[in-house]
A and B are shown apart, each in its own frame.
Chain A
Amino acid sequence: VGTDQTIDTGTASGSAADRNTAQLRVDRIHAFQAELDQLQRDGLLALSPEQQERLTTHHTQLLREFGHQFDVDTTAGQKQMSLGMRVVSFLGALALAASVFLFFYRIWGLISTPIQLLILICGPVLAVLAMEWTRKREHSPYFTSLAGLVAFAAFVLDLALLGGIFNITPSPNAFLVWGAFAILLAYTHDLRLLLVAGILCLLAYLSASIGTWRGVYWLSFGERPENFLPAGFLLFFVPAVIHHKDHPDFSGYYRLFGMLTVLLAVLILSHWGRGSYLHLAAKDVETLYQLLGFALAGLTIWIGARWGWPALTNLGSTFFVIDLYTKFYDWWWDWMPKYLFFLTLGLVAILLLMVFKRLRSQLIQECLA
């Protein structure tokens, strides 16, 4: 039994990357133990009692150290609990943010302007300090995530209420600042939920900016789905420019939300040609975007399969099916008997399954080769 040097358990740096690596190592140990048991039961491998004991001792020691040092899940039960804690921390953060919001409204009329300002500015700052405090005390990210979401909510409330108090002209720049704040907290504390919040804010800012360049009032940027296309592509290519060595799973979020934005915008335009900037008849625009929707969905599936990004493959497959079924509805719902319509959908689903099965077996063969 050799000593794995993937992670040095002797140094308690406790960074997000170390924690992720430790969790991966723990998962590998469990997989190894399960496979070893199976091989021993099948009689293909037999370790001497001494080897078996050394291996078990080594793994037990490693799991204990990882659990103590990085607070990773070392058993299946702990993993289930962690999932539950994640959900609870999210719901708790929502409840706390709502509490802050409603408390402000309840006391707002009873306090003077300087105190209002003080509360608005101190709210997010105190929440940021709370994040640092919980991070120092806890290895697990649940309380930090909770405090982070409260900080983000407090900062959103801060700018929104400042705008209300001083009647500041609404501006898309608020989304830029909110996005920057959320992404900053996400990177410094390795919080995925805040990263998603930041990505959504950046999407809103970029789309609104593109809308204003076209002469649209920024609050109406949602009326033109094409405003979202450059923003979506831009976010999709962020991981190609910025390498996430310390946060390897962050890249997937940029790709997923970038492509989701693009595919959603194309889907809307394929049914609502009047919302396009293109100087074409609405019907032509819809046809154009329907073709583009199928092409982009196929491309997304291919990219996901080619580079091993399963989230993108699933996203592309979902949108391919949605595009297909909505077209079937447009073409056949009115004139086809309903039983025949659903029969057609079922047959198409079977056809798609066969195609995906063929693709999957090709991928397996490539892996084996």
Chain B
Amino acid sequence: MNWRRCLVSAGLVILTNAFVLIGVAYNRASEPEAEITLTERELPLAYGAFQTDENTELALRLHWQHPAHRFGPWVMFSHGLNSTGSIKPSSKPLGMTARFLCLIPLLNSIMTRCCLAKPLWSWHTVVKRGHAGSKRGTGIKYSWLNKSTRGNGRNRTWSNSTMRTISCRKPDHVS
């Protein structure tokens, strides 16, 4: 076996993954500065999610209303978001979180994916997770996390009483 050839190809895979995961860790490093609580109205299941037994992942979408919509979605890319949700002109590059937030009005709905057995929020930098019965403010309460729904996507729905908490982090360069 040509180990050198293997090492180059496999090294590219490992290096790329390491780069991505370091970026994720960096993005989650600081504490959220503000928290907002969302209900199922703003954070429903994604369209067409869990229509088949072949797919065990969970997809949510976030409805995002923003005053900047009146300018059209493209305006968001040249501005940073401040903590109150209004836009603020900025010549500096957007932080990871800000760039993510800017994508929301552009796409109108973002698919958030997480696994059922152990929930994993894909926008972990802006969403903190928790479990049913956890203390207020610690994260999302998953009332649907029980054995009866595990492995069967069709029965998974949000409970009406379930509240989700999303933590927003202000971009570093926005004062």
Contact = CB atoms under 8 A, between A and B. Distances in A.
Given A158-B13, A162-B17, A217-B106, A113 B56 contact: no
A185 B13 CA distance: 12
Nearest to B122: A167
B9 A109 contact: no
B125 A125 contact: no
Given A109-B116, A111-B117, A125-B13, A132 B55 contact: no
Contact of A125 (B14, B111, B121): B14
Contacts of B12: 177, 180-181, 184
A169 B14 contact: no
Interface in A107-139: 107-113, 116-117, 120-121, 124-125, 128-129, 131-133, 136
A185 B74 CA distance: 39
B96 A169 contact: yes
B2 interface: yes
Contacts of A121: 13-14, 17
Q: How large is the interface on B (under 10, 10 to 19, 20 to 34, 35 or more residues)?
A: 35 or more
Contact of A181 (B9, B56, B122): B9
A105 interface: yes
Interface string A147-167: 000010001001100101111
Contact of B120 (A129, A131, A158, A165): A165
A108 B56 contact: yes
A159 B16 contact: yes
Contacts of A168: 20, 23-24
B61 interface: no
Contact of B8 (A117, A151, A188): A188
Contacts of A170: 103
B99 A132 contact: no
Given A132-B6, A164-B113, A167-B112, A109 B58 contact: yes
Given A106-B55, A165-B122, A166-B122, A124 B13 contact: yes
B12 to A, nearest CB: 6
The secondary structure that dominates the A interface is helix
A133 B1 contact: yes
A167 B54 contact: no
B2 A132 contact: yes
Interface string B111-148: 11111111011111100000000000000000000000
Given A129-B6, A167-B100, A110 B13 contact: no
B35 interface: no
B153 interface: yes
Nearest to B78: A215
Given A162-B20, A167-B124, A113 B115 contact: yes
B101 to A, nearest CB: 10
B40 interface: no
21 contacts: A105-B55, A105-B56, A108-B57, A109-B116, A117-B17, A124-B10, A132-B1, A132-B6, A151-B9, A159-B16, A164-B111, A165-B113, A166-B27, A167-B100, A167-B123, A168-B20, A168-B23, A168-B24, A169-B103, A184-B8, A184-B12
Given A106-B56, A112-B118, A129-B6, 7 more contacts: A120-B17, A125-B14, A129-B10, A133-B1, A177-B12, A181-B12, A184-B12
Interface of A: 102, 105-113, 116-117, 120-121, 124-125, 128-129, 131-133, 136, 151, 155, 158-159, 162, 164-170, 177, 180-181, 184-185, 188, 217
